[in-house]
């Protein structure tokens, strides 16, 4: 632990450290009222769910499970509606079935949802036609419209975000409890696109055989698959907006420590992972399993500091490293960091985020990612861990269950001209339903 960091932790001790990426609210009294209200509302998740996830992540780190984490780059308040939520859940469940089939491992399913409302920005302000306004920091902070009123950070949006997170979670839990037909009937899946893939016949067989094994399991156990693993769905978001996180950080009866009860699995973004900053201070004190994004700027020294501060006791399941180097850099940048973790004698769960360092901008101004680059980073991650004798225990995608056109490539061969057709993301480009399912099929095939 850096000398400056005191062991005296509390949910507000982060305020003694420099906090990057926080909004500047115009009215401190109004902000205080909101934080008090948030702190009094019931939690969104429970400590026993959080501990159960931690146990599962420990099993993944030991090579016995595989993590599938995915969802939007940023959730929008407007997307808190039934079909968007159901489609997102559906694609994650379908991908997880494909992955069970391919990896023969139990899959941990974690959504980037029910709280993924705050975004880090490269600049505090944005200038358009000579007018400068605060940058858009996500629906929980301000509005995207380039108008002074909308861009002014409004603390009550934290309450609106918390409520939408609760509504999302309630609907997700109900869908899963109700058995959600798509889970056990692969014949309902929309797999038209596989016809466009050279692996069409193989993918068709994969879907059929998933259906057969599900029916077999149901016959054998006498219970529907949907009921076999009812509540095994977890939430995650970037723990960026520290007042929002702090307000829902609580102690619970009969357990030690403090839990962030706004989500099961918060992660630290690349821009706020400096070892002596406010975010690391906040994260070190919560009992949740946590993840840190690791990108090209990470050094062995910095990684060692993070291991000291965030993972002092080497508690199983506590720490996940989500690596995002890009298809062209992972081969040179991942191996020394794996060595640094081994040298520290710590165990972490290694996950690959093949999205964030493969972003590019097209000539007509669309932020996009190529399916082939995403796949190339992922395949190298599998290879590198195999070579090093470590285990790639999960994947982290930005995806949606809807038919958007934001990433190019995949079986249908989307190209740059297709992007304008259905580009919906305000931030990063996501895999669409078909691209996400195809990605899962390719992983399943390679791992087999
Ligand atoms: C994200 O996950 O949307 C993100 C901003 O990632 P990173 O911190 O890895 O850039
Ligand atoms: Co993103």
Residue 96 in contact with residue 228, Cβ under 8 Å?
A: no
pLDDT at 108 over 70: yes
CA angle 11, 7, 236 (to 5 degrees): 40
Nearest 5°: the CA angle 100, 105, 110 is 70
Q: How far apart are CA 398 and CA 370, in angstroms?
A: 13
The side-by-side arrangement of strands in the sheet containing 267-268 is: 234-235, 106-112, 65-71, 392-398, 349-352, 319-323, 290-294, 267-268
Q: Per-residue pLDDT for 2 more than 50?
A: no
In terms of CATH architecture, what is 13-447?
Alpha-Beta Barrel (3.20)
| The pLDDT of residue 176 is above 70 | yes
> Atom 1 in ligand 1: which residue has the minimum CA distance?
73
User: Quick one: pLDDT at residue 186?
Assistant: 80
Give whichever of 79-93, 168-182, 220-234 has the largest mean pLDDT.
79-93
Residue 50 pLDDT > 90, yes or no? Answer: yes
Give yes or no for residue 270 CB within 6 A of ligand 1. yes
Query: CB–CB of 330/382 below 8 Å?
Result: no
Cβ neighbours of residue 283 under 8 Å, at least 6 residues apart?
A: 239, 266, 268, 290, 310
Q: Tell whether the model's pLDDT for residue 6 goes beyond 70.
A: no
Does the pLDDT at position 183 exceed 50?
yes
**What mean pLDDT is reported for the chain?**
93
* Residue 264 predicted with pLDDT over 50: yes
Does 324 contact ligand 1 (Cβ within 6 A)?
yes
How large a percentage of the chain has pLDDT more than 70?
96
d(CA 268, CA 294): 9
Closest by alpha carbon to 109, among 192, 173, 193?
Answer: 173
Q: Is 399 exposed, middle or buried (0-12, 13-18, 19+ CB in 10 A)?
A: buried
Ligand 1 close to Cβ of residue 237 (< 6 A): no
Query: Which residue's CA is minimally distant from atom 10 of ligand 1?
Result: 270
Report the chain's C-alpha Rg in angstroms.
Answer: 21
Which residue, by CA, sits nearest to atom 2 of ligand 1?
73
Instruction: Give me the pLDDT at residue 230, please.
Output: 54
For the record, the structure tokens of 26 come out as 């115009």
Q: Ligand 1 within 6 A of 269 CB?
A: yes
Q: Does residue 274 carry a pLDDT above 60?
A: yes
Most confidently modeled range among 211-215, 220-224, 228-232, 289-293: 289-293
Q: What's the pLDDT score for residue 226?
A: 55
Which stretch of DSSP H or E encloses residue 290?
A: strand 290-294
| CA 73–ligand 2 middle distance (angstroms) | 4
Pocket test for ligand 1, best of 69, 73, 116, 117 (most atoms within 8 A of CB): 73
Which ligand is closest to the CA of 321, given by its number? 1
Lowest-confidence segment of 68-82, 98-112, 257-271 by average pLDDT: 98-112
Identify the band that residue 181 occupies on the pLDDT scale cut at 50, 70 and 90: low
Nearest bound ligand to the CA of residue 427: 2
CA 74 to ligand 1: nearest atom: 3
User: Could you tell me what percent of the chain has a pLDDT over 90?
Assistant: 82
pLDDT at 1 over 50: no
The answer to whether residue 228 scores a pLDDT higher than 60 is no
**pLDDT mean over 346-354:** 98
From 71, 240, 265, 324, the mutation candidate for ligand 1 (largest count of ligand atoms within 8 A of CB) is 324
Answer whether 347 contacts ligand 1 (Cβ < 6 A): no
CB-neighbour burial class of residue 99 (10 A; exposed 0-12, middle 13-18, buried 19+): buried
Average pLDDT (325-347) is 98
CA of 386 to the centre of ligand 1 (A): 25
Cβ 73 under 6 angstroms from ligand 1: yes
- Does 293 sit in the ligand 1 pocket, CB within 6 Å? yes
Point out the least confidently predicted range of 21-25, 203-207, 214-218, 282-286.
Answer: 214-218
pTM: predicted TM-score of the whole model, two decimal places:
0.96
């Amino acid at each position: 632990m850096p000398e400056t960091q005191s062991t005296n932790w509390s949910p507000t001790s982060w305020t003694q450290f420099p906090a990057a990426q926080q909004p500047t609210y115009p009215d401190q009294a109004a902000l205080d009222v909101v934080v008090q209200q948030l702190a009094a509302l019931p939690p969104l998740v429970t400590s026993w769910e959080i501990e159960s996830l931690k146990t599962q992540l420990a099993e993944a780190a030991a090579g016995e499970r595989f993590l599938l984490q995915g969802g939007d780059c940023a959730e929008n308040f407007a997307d808190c509606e039934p079909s968007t939520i159901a489609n997102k859940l559906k694609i994650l469940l379908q991908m997880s079935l494909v992955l069970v089939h391919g990896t023969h491992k139990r899959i941990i399913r974690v959504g980037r949802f029910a709280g993924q409302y705050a975004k880090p920005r490269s600049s505090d302000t944005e200038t358009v036609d000579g007018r400068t306004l605060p940058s858009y920091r996500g629906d929980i902070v301000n509005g995207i419209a380039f108008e002074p009123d909308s861009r002014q950070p409004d603390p009550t949006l934290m309450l609106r975000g918390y409520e939408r997170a609760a509504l999302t979670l309630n609907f997700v839990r109900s869908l899963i409890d109700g058995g959600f037909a798509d889970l056990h009937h692969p014949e309902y899946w929309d797999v038209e696109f596989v016809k466009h893939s050279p692996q069409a016949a193989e993918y068709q067989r994969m879907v059929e055989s998933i259906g057969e094994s599900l029916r077999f399991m149901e016959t054998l156990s006498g219970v529907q698959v949907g009921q076999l693993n009812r509540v095994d769905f977890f939430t995650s978001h970037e723990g960026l907006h520290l007042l929002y996180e702090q307000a829902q950080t609580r102690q619970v009866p009969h357990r030690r420590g403090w839990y962030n009860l706004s989500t099961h699995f918060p992660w630290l973004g690349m821009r706020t992972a400096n070892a002596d900053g406010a975010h690391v201070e906040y994260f070190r004190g919560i009992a949740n399993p946590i993840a840190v994004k690791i990108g090209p700027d990470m050094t062995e020294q910095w990684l060692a500091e993070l291991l000291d501060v965030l993972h002092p006791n080497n508690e199983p399941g506590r720490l996940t490293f989500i690596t995002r180097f890009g298809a062209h850099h992972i081969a040179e940048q991942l191996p020394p960091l794996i060595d640094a973790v081994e040298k520290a004698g710590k165990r972490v769960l290694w996950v690959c985020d093949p999205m964030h360092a493969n972003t590019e901008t097209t000539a007509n101004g669309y932020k996009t990612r190529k399916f082939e680059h995403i796949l190339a980073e992922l395949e190298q991650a599998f290879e590198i861990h195999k070579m090093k004798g470590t285990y790639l225990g999960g994947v982290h995608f930005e995806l949606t269950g809807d038919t958007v056109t934001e990433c190019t490539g995949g079986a249908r061969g989307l190209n740059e001209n297709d992007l304008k057709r259905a580009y919906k993301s305000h931030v990063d480009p996501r895999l669409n339903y078909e691209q996400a399912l195809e990605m899962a099929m390719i992983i399943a095939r390679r791992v087999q």
